[in-house]
Amino acid sequence: MLIQLCRKVLTDQVNNVRALRTIHTTVVNKTFWEKEKKSGYAQKYPLTSKKMILDGLKEFKSELNLWKEEMKEKFESDPILVFRPGEIDVIWKFSEEQDLDKWVVTSDKDHNQGLSVASFERSPAGFGLFSGNLSSELPIDGRIKKAGYCNIKSMRQRKSFKRETSFDWSTYNTLVMRVRGDGRPYLINLSCEAYHDMTWNDIYHYILYTRGGPHWQVTKIPFSKFFYASKGRVQDKQVAFPVDRVTSVGFSVSGRAGYDGNFSLEVDYIGLEFDPHETEDFAYETYKVDKYIVQT
């Protein structure tokens, strides 16, 4: 009996050693996943494999040329940076028709959430013109509770072969733009997308007050003045604007009772500047909340 018990113990130990030396594998998930930037506004366009291959071959030449420009810029770029106060590096200029193709226009009507319309085109003077008509009238569906907004947004910066990238503005501290408005306030939106999907709606805002009339205005806004919001709600816990991962710039205008009607914002350029007099890191108070405490 004792011999059988010892044999069983030895057999169990050998089996345990063999189990430790075994390579354990899990089921491989072979599905692909792509993040949807607009969440509920997703649209599916079914394409056959043949159509996808033909479209890819058409874009291959342009993507290859873009890659060549990247390599050329990489080898010819000068790493020495000289900051000159008052010198503006223009990022977006609207002197050519193709400059407008880098921007996207949206309104509540595009998503069946209102009746506002907007466009972004060349003005008679040869600049970018964001214009349209705001309407706070609600659709008769019993679902929408607030309407009346229009927006333009720069397209996501990317490298060759559809590789997304972002702007690194860490060498600047001020956003500069030359605009001519209609007297309405507009909201400037700076998007800084991170990896996790819960941060895709994080946007930094500041209000652009326009004068109206025929005169142009040059507006300079330090990065420290932009406040943090998510899905249109200003957050209690404010954080400084991350200047090293900017994905897009946009303008929004909203209407409400008594403020509906036509709007017009003409833009000459949008640029960046390093101002040595701007030494403020962040203009707003930051509240530290204890862990596991829910604010209502």
Domain boundaries, the chain: 84-273
Backbone angles phi, psi at 86, to 5 degrees: 95, -10
Burial letters 100-126, b for 16+ CB under 10 A, else e: beebebbbbbeeebbbbbbebeebeee
- Residues 6 or more apart whose CB falls under 8 angstroms from that of 270 comprise 90, 91, 92, 175, 176, 177, 249
Q: What is the pLDDT of residue 120?
A: 96
Of the ranges 19-28, 63-72, 205-214, which is most confident?
205-214
- Smallest CA-to-CA distance from 251 within 182, 194, 185 is with 185
Architecture of domain 84-273: Sandwich (2.60)
Q: What is the pLDDT of residue 95?
A: 86
d(CA 147, CA 195): 31
Confidence of residue 94 (pLDDT cuts 50, 70, 90): very high
Which pLDDT tens digit goes with each residue over 186-201?
A: 999 999 877 676 777 8
Of 8-12, 47-51, 129-133, least confident by mean pLDDT is 8-12
Q: What is the pLDDT of residue 58?
A: 76
Confidence of residue 78 (pLDDT cuts 50, 70, 90): low
Q: Calculate mean pLDDT across residues 141-153.
A: 87
- Tell me, what DSSP letter sits at residue 246? B
- Residues 6 or more apart whose CB falls under 8 angstroms from that of 225 comprise 206, 283
Top pLDDT among 131 and 65 is at 131
